[in-house]
Structure 1
Amino acid sequence: MTYRQKLSGRAWALSQLLLVASFSQAEELVCRQSGDPENPQLSKDGDIILGAIFSFHSSWKDRQETYTHKPLLNFRDFQIAQAMLFAIEDINNSTDLLPGISLGYKLYDTCGSIARSVRVALALVSHYATCACLSDKSKYPSFLRTIPSDYYQSRALAQLVKHFGWTWVGAIRSNNDYGNNGIAIFTDTAQQLGICLEYSVPFFRTDPPNKIQKIIDIIKLSTSKVIVAFLSHLDMDVLMNKLSHHNLTGYQWVGSEGWIFDSQTAEKDNNHILDGAIGLSIPRAHVSGIREFMLNIKPVNLLGNDMLTEFWEALFNCRFKQSPSSLENQSECTGHEDLSGLQHSFVDMSLMAVFNNVYKGVFAVAHALHNILECNKTCNFKVQLDPFTILQHIKKIEFKTTEGEEVYFNENGDPPAKYEIIHWQPTENGVVDFVTVGLYDASLPADKQLSLQYNSLLLFIQVPVSVCSEKCPPGTRKVLQKGKPVCCYDCIRCAEGEISNITGLVIFLFSTKRDACVKKEAEFLSYEEIMGALLTAASLFGTCMTAVVAFIFFRYRKTPIVRANNSELSFLLLFSLTLCFLCSLTFIGRPSEWSCMLRHTAFGITFVLCISCVLGKTMVVLMAFRASLPGSNVMKWFGPTQQRLSVLAFTLIQVVICILWLTISPPFPFKNFKEIKDKIILECALGSTVGFWAVLGYIGLLASFCFILAFLARKLPDNFNEAKFITFSILIFCAVWITFIPAYVSSPGKFSVAVEIFAILASSFGLLICIFIPKCYIILLRPEKNTKKNMMGKVGQKTF
């Protein structure tokens, strides 16, 4: 029993670029099809049948159709079909791939009709399907291809247009999924790159004359000099045929791979409308032996094949004896005519890249079948083939062609996206030379995907300028034209101090020579500049220094000097000093709504907390001295609980002031144009000046009260009277903030912020050093003084 018999008549179909497998059971039909059945134009028997669809005939012709003539034979698709047959022959002759199994084929003709394609193509379009929509696996889970998706081609075309500075272009697209989806992606990418489309019109080769005339009128009335043509080669042929009657030369054409590398299109461009065209093409490749295979076609080898007979008659303009001739004196075909010396597009191997994709598609299916059938020296005939299994194996295929090219599919069923940039360079004899002037590789980083070789880019005409508006000369700026795209604008002369919001915050003023617009610089205290970096370093140093002091106090928390000076308030004071150092960081950086509100409120609350702790420690000193007097019971009224409550109460008052400030009129970011003529000062406006001065005034009130109490207690009889150090620290604090006010008012721009940060850091360092460093000195370097006896001072005197 043969393998074909074991398969029970199953037939396998593959579209050479789509890699779609079709399966049918050879069973008796219950219902008969009405109408004209679809029969393959070329076929060959085999164990496994691969199917494909081509447009062997084109449906248009520039004459009155009488329905008595066949449509024109499309040599291009017939040539591509030979690539599939060549690949099948290679596999059948191979002893390594599918040994013992012969592949057959059935090739169908769509006549360039989408409706006819649907009937013969398993409910899909014809071959050469590059539409990005087909990469959607939720809609097309069984679709794979060896040609890249138009998603990458459309983006590459936009980058190519941008590279030449063409920001004002027109677009013509095939009115099908190929053209509509391709231009849609191109438009999105173009907008991101600052390119505007003056028009985008659909076109199909069967459009009525009045619709085609409208397209021609649009091109004539347009001001753009660059036309992006996302068209199939069939549509492009028809369009060129119509444009040639209207002398539409002088335009720069940018083409998709559908036509940019098509020699037939170049041959039909008799009026040189497309001279200098540039576009993307599938990378060139080489398939060994395919030229010899095509030149070896002989109709005598396939007697009775109407398709091959028609091809031969059209190729050599002759008729076989059995064919009815409509022309007189037409020579008779022998079937032995020599193809090698023929000057015809069929023997032109310029479409080798397309042949290679067909070749890879057939071999991908063959490799999948080879793996499924567990072929080594022989194949396992008992394996049951089903579409899902074949699809899963094709998805995982990885192999190298005989030329060393790697073949695989990504998660969307697409191959790697690579294109050559082709430039049309007409020669002296009128033949177009397709010159590769660059490459596009979507797998590379965005800035390296497009590369052009200028030594090969020999433009025979000057690169056209295609912009809606020329660049504004010095001393002027852009103003958008109402109702027009952003590429269209007027240029008006700059006025001193004038601002423009065309591309965000762009501020202009006249230069001293008044010959150009100079962009104003935004000024604020940033971390990157030296002054900001130094203040940041000082803030962090103070934070670390406070943390070290806190660690020392915690490590020696049971020693007399720590316990005698109210350790709880000491730790709370160290915590508040840490916040004081850190709050200075909120003043550095570009002002924002949140940073403006945070910087002043954080500063106000943390400093009140700090002064409240110092005030509490001062009051403890005074109360401790009063408690040492005979009959005094004052300490029970200012114990630890009262100390905590006093700190909380003083701080809550400042919190309430800040909440009222933020509620009524909070600080906000502000752009100051008047302070400095050639710069914008980004600063924080106070909002309510009453709120700001209330915050500062309350801090000053607590500091003054603390200073008075500490001054009164500075000479109390103790060996280590903390009031002395508190007095000195508050004195420094007040001196810093008194000098801050005039310095802040007189400092311009970012320097006023730097003065404020300096005041915060200086006062914080003053409190930290004056109150805690003497104690750390005794704890670490003079431990003999850190005793209860030394702290008591004179015998009989009680300390705090």
Structure 2
Amino acid sequence: MVKDLFATLSKLEDIDLLTDIGSQTEGKVTECQCVLTNYPPMQPKPGYHRDGDIMIGGLITVVTFYPDIGPSFTTPPSFEGNGFTLFLNYYNFLAFVSAVEEINNSSELLPNLTLGFHIYEPYNNLLLTYRAAINIFSGMETGIPNYSCKTSGPLATVIEGLPAEQSSEFSSLSRIYQYPQISYTSGNFDMSDTVKFPYFYRTVPSEVYLCAGIVKLLKHFGWTWVGIVATDDENSMRAVQILREGIEQNGGCTEFIKTFSPSISLLRQNVSDIYQIILTSSTKVIILYCDRERTEVIKKSIIWEIPGKVWIIRAEGLFFLPSYNADRKNTFAFTVAKKNIPSFHRFVREVNPAMFPNDSFLEMWFKDLCNNQCPESIQRSCSSEEISDYLSHCDVINSGNSYNVYNAVYALAHALHSMVTFNSGNNTTWHGESGRVLEFLPWKLHHYLKNLHFKNVLGEEIVFDENGDLAIGYDIISTVFQSNGIRNNEIYGHYNPYALPEKEFAIYEKAITWESTFMETPPQSICNPSCLPGFRKLTREGKPVCCYECIPCPEGEVSNHIDMDTCIKCPEDQWPNQKRDACIPKVITYLSYEEPLGIILSFICLFFFLINTVILGIFIHYRDTPIVKANNRHLSYILLISLMLCFICSLIFIGHPQEVSCILRQTTFGITFSIALSSILAKTITVVVAFHATKPGSKLQKWMGSKVSISIVTSCSLIQTAMCLVWLSTAPPFPYLNMRSEIGIIIIECNEGSIVAFYYVLGYLGFLAGISFIVAFLARNLPDRFNEAKYITFSMLVFCNVWISFIPTYLSTKGKYMVAVEIFAILASSAGLLGCIFFPNCYIILLKPERNSRKGGFYNYGLKKIYIKI
């Protein structure tokens, strides 16, 4: 492609390039005339030349043309009516010349060498850029491919300010000659590839970092719903892709991506489409990703007048006239950090405009510096006739790329200095027949540029990274226009990818002045309201990732930040608070003596225990009366004592569960109840045997007496005791923190260890109760006034009802109420046995003593023998 371009350029007949050696003016700047003979309405301006021992090529755009039809390689472009001058860019040219002047006047950097330059105006046009490049490489105004004029020193490098796409195209040409290429504007993504672009350097960061900075800005303000407007060139499309991925990684998404042609004329035609898209969008944040010239077109259109939008742009995008600017306080511009270079300001203030070709542009440009409102650092002393009535550029001297141009020239000078120092140590001279260094200057410079490290006049470190990018960051600014027309660049923050993580990104929110159209500041740009703590996001089906619903966290989980994707499960010993935005310690609970339920149950236990004690005392006091002796008083004593233990064992269930109390609870309950039930069973059997033993010849008389009944009680109790011992030896009960039964509560309870053993113990009690009930039921109508079978039958009916209803109730309750249910069952069943069996006897003993006599005893039925025996 480049060879075809050379052939095309050499055959162009419509361009007549004339070289006018002419007279040299002050500063030894030579004017080189370049005339487009066939296009008089809009002629490109001349380039600038200065001889030196080492030459620097420069491609600096001041005037930009936008041809209606793109340039071809057979005909030159049409410039008619499609161009404007960027006054701000003229600072870049002056910064170039100023840096060269400083270096040549320095006695330390290059004391024995002078720098010269070829500076050409590429007009933001690829065809003219190639023509200018050939002129620079050949050293002549009428450039000839592959030919170098030796009238001046060798060319060292080309410093250019081309757009990203043109910078990449120009690199393919400079690579042929191995000339270093230093860009002060291009952040082209691909040009960080040192394999494809081995000779490329730049004094601006790669646009990869620009995209990262924009994403960090969005993340800082929580803007997750954005729109993107960008040119459809390759570099911008890659930037859009990176931005979109970065936004989505932070939980955001794009409402729309609108692209437009790089052609200025087509952009103007599409303004209404872009306007409608932005106007009807719900997002408040628009990323405008295009170069400064396209940004200018956007800002001059009705698009910029849409209220309630925050704009994020990649350059300042300043205008020629202040009247074109809307005072948009809600614009964030990412620009390479600009510095105030005092020597450059002095140069601008004191330089003689006669050094440069005089035309209407220069006359207007330098008149602007005469305005009294200009900064004193660059304000020129002018006559009253020279002072202009308006400000077009003098208030924004530090807003252009002049700092980057300044660094580029000094980077080259320091690389040359390093090469001179190295070769001087090797006894290599710079002039004469042995000056081989000059012959191979371009490719030798790469080594020194790659390893460049110096401090500029401001004391800042200048070093290229491994990709040839200058290790600097961005300022985030907004241009604010004052009532007198002066522009101020308010710095809102910075982003430096080379800084420490804690200093990488910063926003100065106090410096930001938001538009009054925003209901809240900073404005929110989200698809839907953020999910508050206590809720999590649920993505809607078919909607972008940042358009979601907010649903409460499930039980046991919390979210302590806004817009959380998932809720966090609380530790087992903690539980969400009411808002579910924090985990708090669970309430520890157990059936204690201090709470009302524990107090009531304890009181009932003691009350029945006292009653039981009184009844036992009554039976002991009246132990020789017929009613006490009738049903084996020893069994009555055993039954009363066992019931006393049943009442007392209820108290073991109350209080903080300990290892000992957990072991004693169920075993004590099981054994004492087995003794009570076996005593009742022995009582019932005694009545039955006593009745049948009165029959003549009955063999049951030998089973009469207390030994048999005691044996029944002992054997039945030992069976229960054996089961409890097996239970304790295999899986004994233990204290347990139950964190799942009740929400937000830790229940300290006794785990039964082996639930099978627990139900075996209960089942055995049920078996004893059932046998006692059956035997008592069968003996209820035996003819005996002191027969207790009726009372035992009723007491067993109460007992069985209590424990049958206990099982489902026990299983359906949780925590301390489960313990309370078991205590209630123990108390109710024990009280039932005590009341149904012993209250009638106490009634007779205390209130009906006449019935407690032998006359009313077994004698009436001829049972004297049996009565006396038992």
| TM superposition score normalised by structure 2 | 0.48
Q: Distance in 1 between matches of 2:739 and 2:300?
A: 61
Correspondence for 1:49: 55
Question: Contact 1:266–1:432 at 8 Å: present in 2 too?
Answer: no
Name the SS of the counterpart of 2:361 in structure 1: helix
Correspondence for 2:275: 216
Match of 1:370 among 411, 417, 421: 417
Match of 1:140 among 181, 197, 208: 197
Sort the Cα spacing of 1:99 and 1:340 in 2 relative to 1 into closer, same or farther, 3 A: farther
Match of 1:199 among 241, 244, 256: 256
Question: Contact 1:295–1:339 at 8 Å: present in 2 too?
Answer: no
Match of 1:150 among 207, 213, 229: 207
Does residue 294 (structure 1) correspond to residue 335 (structure 2)? The answer is no
Q: Distance in 1 between matches of 2:232 and 2:384?
A: 40
Match of 2:170 among 107, 113, 124: 124
Question: Contact 1:56–1:74 at 8 Å: present in 2 too?
Answer: yes
Does residue 248 (structure 1) correspond to residue 248 (structure 2)? The answer is no
Correspondence for 2:229: 172
- Where in structure 2 are the equivalents of 1:27-176 lying within 5 Å? 34-36=13-15, 41-60=47-66, 68-69=80-81, 71-117=83-129, 119-120=131-132, 123-124=169-170, 127-176=184-233
Correspondence for 2:501: 446
Q: Aligned-pair distance for 1:228?
A: 1.7
Question: Contact 1:340–1:347 at 8 Å: present in 2 too?
Answer: no
Q: Distance in 1 between matches of 2:197 and 2:523?
A: 42
Question: Contact 1:152–1:442 at 8 Å: present in 2 too?
Answer: yes
Q: Aligned-pair distance for 1:337?
A: 9.3
Match of 2:336 among 272, 279, 282: 282
Q: Distance in 2 between matches of 1:70 and 1:30?
A: 23
1:52 partner letter: G
Correspondence for 1:752: none
Correspondence for 1:581: none
Sort the Cα spacing of 1:449 and 1:242 in 2 relative to 1 into closer, same or farther, 3 A: same
Correspondence for 2:180: none
- Where in structure 2 are the equivalents of 1:358-437 lying within 5 Å? 358-374=405-421, 380-381=430-431, 382-385=435-438, 386=440, 387-429=442-484, 431-437=486-492
Q: Distance in 2 between matches of 1:44 and 1:310?
A: 23
Q: Aligned-pair distance for 1:398?
A: 1.8
Correspondence for 1:595: none
Q: Distance in 1 between matches of 2:240 and 2:127?
A: 23
Correspondence for 2:665: none
Q: Distance in 2 between matches of 1:352 and 1:271?
A: 18
Question: Contact 1:263–1:350 at 8 Å: present in 2 too?
Answer: no
Sort the Cα spacing of 1:522 and 1:120 in 2 relative to 1 into closer, same or farther, 3 A: farther
Figure out how many residues of one structure are paired with residues of the other and give that number.
Answer: 483
Q: 1:534-586: CA deviations, max 9, x gaps? A: xxxxxxxxxxxxxxxxxxxxxxxxxxxxxxxxxxxxxxxxxxxxxxxxxxxxx
Does residue 503 (structure 1) correspond to residue 565 (structure 2)? The answer is yes
Q: Distance in 2 between matches of 1:116 and 1:161?
A: 39
Q: Aligned-pair distance for 1:460?
A: 4.9
Q: Distance in 2 between matches of 1:83 and 1:138?
A: 31
Q: 1:476-534: CA deviations, max 9, x gaps? A: 653322222111013456787999998357679xx9999745689999xxxxxxxxxxx
Question: Contact 1:71–1:111 at 8 Å: present in 2 too?
Answer: no
Question: Contact 1:520–1:678 at 8 Å: present in 2 too?
Answer: no
Name the SS of the counterpart of 1:367 in structure 2: helix
Does residue 489 (structure 1) correspond to residue 548 (structure 2)? The answer is yes
Q: 1:299-326: CA deviations, max 9, x gaps? A: 5444xx4xx42522554899xxxxxxxx
Sort the Cα spacing of 1:226 and 1:450 in 2 relative to 1 into closer, same or farther, 3 A: same
Q: Distance in 1 between matches of 2:359 and 2:499?
A: 48
Sort the Cα spacing of 1:70 and 1:441 in 2 relative to 1 into closer, same or farther, 3 A: closer
Question: Contact 2:49–2:116 at 8 Å: present in 1 too?
Answer: yes
Question: Contact 1:131–1:181 at 8 Å: present in 2 too?
Answer: no
Q: Aligned-pair distance for 1:128?
A: 0.6
Match of 2:241 among 159, 179, 184: 184
Sort the Cα spacing of 1:41 and 1:392 in 2 relative to 1 into closer, same or farther, 3 A: same
- Where in structure 2 are the equivalents of 1:525-540 lying within 5 Å? none
| TM superposition score normalised by structure 1 | 0.52
Name the SS of the counterpart of 1:451 in structure 2: strand
Question: Contact 2:329–2:514 at 8 Å: present in 1 too?
Answer: no
Q: Select the structure with the greater relative contact order (CA < 8 A; seq sep ≥ 6).
A: 1
Correspondence for 1:312: 362
Sort the Cα spacing of 1:317 and 1:30 in 2 relative to 1 into closer, same or farther, 3 A: closer
Q: Distance in 1 between matches of 2:192 and 2:251?
A: 27
Question: Contact 2:283–2:525 at 8 Å: present in 1 too?
Answer: yes
Correspondence for 1:724: none
1:124 partner letter: F
Question: Contact 1:425–1:459 at 8 Å: present in 2 too?
Answer: no
Q: Distance in 2 between matches of 1:480 and 1:92?
A: 65
**Structure 1 stretches lacking a partner, 5+ long:** 1-28, 319-334, 524-671, 681-747, 749-800
Name the SS of the counterpart of 1:348 in structure 2: helix
Q: Distance in 2 between matches of 1:166 and 1:116?
A: 42
**Structure 2 stretches lacking a partner, 5+ long:** 1-7, 18-33, 35-45, 69-76, 135-168, 172-182, 369-381, 587-737, 747-813, 815-870
Correspondence for 2:537: 478
Question: Contact 2:536–2:565 at 8 Å: present in 1 too?
Answer: no
Q: 1:247-297: CA deviations, max 9, x gaps? A: 4122111222x22xx54379355443x322123332231222222322445
Does residue 229 (structure 1) correspond to residue 276 (structure 2)? The answer is no
Higher radius of gyration, 1 or 2: 2
Sort the Cα spacing of 1:353 and 1:66 in 2 relative to 1 into closer, same or farther, 3 A: closer
Question: Contact 2:557–2:580 at 8 Å: present in 1 too?
Answer: no
Correspondence for 2:595: none
Question: Contact 1:237–1:265 at 8 Å: present in 2 too?
Answer: no
Q: Distance in 1 between matches of 2:84 and 2:367?
A: 13
1:383 partner letter: R
Q: Aligned-pair distance for 1:137?
A: 0.9
Q: Aligned-pair distance for 1:127?
A: 4.9
- Where in structure 2 are the equivalents of 1:635-654 lying within 5 Å? none
Q: Aligned-pair distance for 1:58?
A: 2.0
Sort the Cα spacing of 1:71 and 1:31 in 2 relative to 1 into closer, same or farther, 3 A: closer
Q: Aligned-pair distance for 1:360?
A: 1.4
Does residue 350 (structure 1) correspond to residue 397 (structure 2)? The answer is yes
Higher mean alpha-carbon deviation, 376-385 vs 441-450, is at 376-385
Q: Distance in 2 between matches of 1:480 and 1:250?
A: 27
Question: Contact 2:229–2:289 at 8 Å: present in 1 too?
Answer: yes
Correspondence for 1:463: 522
Q: Distance in 1 between matches of 2:248 and 2:583?
A: 28
2:217 partner letter: L
CA RMSD of aligned residues (A): 4.7
1:311 partner letter: F
Name the SS of the counterpart of 1:482 in structure 2: coil
Correspondence for 1:564: none
Correspondence for 1:15: none
Higher mean alpha-carbon deviation, 120-129 vs 337-346, is at 337-346
Q: Distance in 2 between matches of 1:338 and 1:87?
A: 31
Q: 1:56-104: CA deviations, max 9, x gaps? A: 2122599xx9955573222222221110011111122222232343322
Sort the Cα spacing of 1:219 and 1:459 in 2 relative to 1 into closer, same or farther, 3 A: closer
Q: Distance in 2 between matches of 1:372 and 1:216?
A: 55
1:84 partner letter: F
Q: Aligned-pair distance for 1:114?
A: 4.3
1:415 partner letter: L
1:51 partner letter: G
Q: Distance in 1 between matches of 2:525 and 2:385?
A: 49
